[in-house]
A = this chain, B = another copy of it.
Amino acid sequence: MSKRILIIGGVAGGASVAARARRIDEAAEIIMFEKGPHVSFSNCSLPFHLSGIVENGDDLVLMSPEQFRNQYNIEARVSSEVTKIKKEEKKIVVKDMITGKEYEESYDKLVLSPGARPILPKTIEGITGPNVFTVRNVVDIKKLKGYIDENNIEDIAVIGGGFIGVEVAENLRLAGKNISLIEALDQVMSPFDYDMAQILQKEMMDKGVKLILSDGVKKISGDFIELQSGKKVSAKAVVMAIGVSPETSLAKEAGLEIGVTGGIKVDHNYLTNDKDIYAVGDAIEVYNKLTHKPSRLALAGPAQRQARAAADNMYNIHHNNNGVIGSSVVQIFDLGAASTGLNEKSAKAAGISYDFVYIIPGDKVGLMKNSSPMHFKLIYEYPTGRILGAQAIGKGNVDKRIDIIATMITMGGTLEDLKELELCYSPLFGTAKDVVNYAALVALNLLYGKFKQVPVTKVRELVENGEFILDVREAHEYAEGHINNALNIPLSEIRGRLNEIPKDKPVYLHCRSSQRSYNAVMALQNLGYNNVINISGSYLGICCYEYYEDQVTGREKILTEYNFN
């Protein structure tokens, strides 16, 4: 007898289970139930409707129920809410949202792919107002865009500086709106460490987004919002994007096990604790391959893989479950920002012994007109050199570098492996020694104890403590902006001016991107200096790091000028 497969949720995960099951089994009866009016829309493309990059909101819907029927012989029931799972009877209760009628359907296999919903804290006054929006589906984004357009709204507040908040803020800003982005933490974009997040924050501020960190919303009214700090921000529309919560009420009510992270608990095969019910996508708890701990991950790639694995398991087809590492990329105005694996924060939280390097090489041969610096941070296990994660920010191909690191992590690669990687090179595409090779070389020198470094986050302290800082850039670069009280001796003059460099105290060195300062560090060490320390991140990193702080905190400046060239 043919299998009857019911699927709750018809977006990324659900639609993928359905399509895969059909390819395996032409005879199966496959039905998807979706509460909303659309199945299979491009979730990740929603924010781009706000700027007009995706002009027509209806284009966000990738396949209609008719197309599912015709191309795959899959039934997609939209406006159909599943209100109950009767797992002992192997039945679900479905409510037709249009007629209001309830009915039951029986299954051989059930798949939960309900996703996650935006968090809307009831403690915020005005949170249920007509000017408060979330971004979860095509209906949401069209509603938001419609409200802004019809009411000619200029001032908009976006609450939350994660992926969705940042993408919504960017696309609304591209549409010419006045955007305030409010984030409760002291940085946006948590996949990035504090130092790297500064670069993203600078880009948003440069492009006119008003950025408010370490503050939250207390009250929303028609014309403004009031923050926890008491500050008032003009806003006629508010987009809530502080996070998502997995949709687990159906599962809970049915007595399915929920994991420690609040997601639905699944086994190797994405089966819940019921042998006929699978769960996939944003609602489940996944296993992090690097921390060896359960976690949650709202990303489309893993959801698709889980969906395929669940369908395969229904037909006894083997699949691997490697756990997740979390790779992502986002465009923030002119910058791409990509990351994978662990960052400093998550490595610390997981109690993993790590070290890192932060370099800023060119993404292409300098002769090429669109060559530009790439900020690249590599996290590795100490003392093994096993690669744990990376963050890349720049105008060039950040995703390419992070995908290489993601591949390395998956394959258990070390710094020695990364150093030896033979990558594509042409001056139009990169450098003979690619960013990732270069990061491995610097990291190996650090791992093997060839030199010492201090992170860019410590520079203020160095300056305030009156430490000896040596700037080995050329004089004209120094003239355009430098650390207060730093001594300028260009690399080319250093061997002749050793008398100006003290041997009896630490010497902190930097140049623009660390390449020249690294040569200077090695030269001084070879010349008998025992306490030479490179400033990781160098001058470009210091500029980014100080930019937000100086403007917002009003603390005494440690740089004479900013110069990012």
Show the binding face of A for B, using Cβ within 8 Å. Answer: 12, 19, 22-27, 42, 44-45, 48, 53-54, 59-60, 67, 70-73, 299-305, 320, 322, 324-331, 336, 338, 340, 365, 367-369, 397, 399-400, 402-404, 406-408, 410-413, 416-417, 420-430, 432-434, 437, 491-493, 495, 516, 518-519, 522-523, 526-527
Contact = CB atoms under 8 A, between A and B. Distances in A.
Contacts of A72: 519
A399 B399 contact: no
Given A48-B367, A322-B420, A403-B421, 16 more contacts: A19-B519, A23-B523, A26-B522, A44-B365, A44-B426, A44-B427, A299-B425, A300-B425, A300-B432, A328-B425, A330-B426, A340-B424, A403-B403, A406-B424, A410-B417, A411-B413
24 contacts: A22-B519, A23-B518, A23-B519, A24-B522, A26-B527, A42-B367, A44-B426, A44-B432, A45-B427, A70-B491, A71-B492, A71-B516, A301-B434, A303-B432, A326-B422, A327-B425, A329-B429, A336-B429, A338-B424, A399-B400, A402-B424, A407-B423, A411-B411, A411-B412
Contacts of A407: 404, 407-408, 411, 413, 421, 423
B301 A425 contact: yes
A262 B101 CA distance: 82
A329 B424 contact: yes
Nearest to A441: B308
A510 B402 CA distance: 35
B320 A425 contact: no
Given A423-B301, A432-B300, A73 B495 contact: yes
A99 to B, nearest CB: 28
A27 B526 CA distance: 8
A71 B519 contact: yes
Contact of A59 (B367, B410, B421, B425): B367
B423 A327 contact: yes
A408 B423 CA distance: 11
A324 B420 CA distance: 10
B328 A45 contact: no
A544 to B, nearest CB: 22
B526 A26 contact: yes
Given A48-B427, A416-B320, A491-B71, A327 B367 contact: no
A406 B421 contact: yes
List 3 tightest A-B contacts by C-beta distance, closest first: A26-B526, A70-B492, A400-B400
Given A54-B367, A416-B320, A522-B23, A422 B325 contact: yes
A207 to B, nearest CB: 16
A400 B67 CA distance: 33
Contacts of A397: 397, 399-400
Contact of A406 (B322, B369, B422): B422
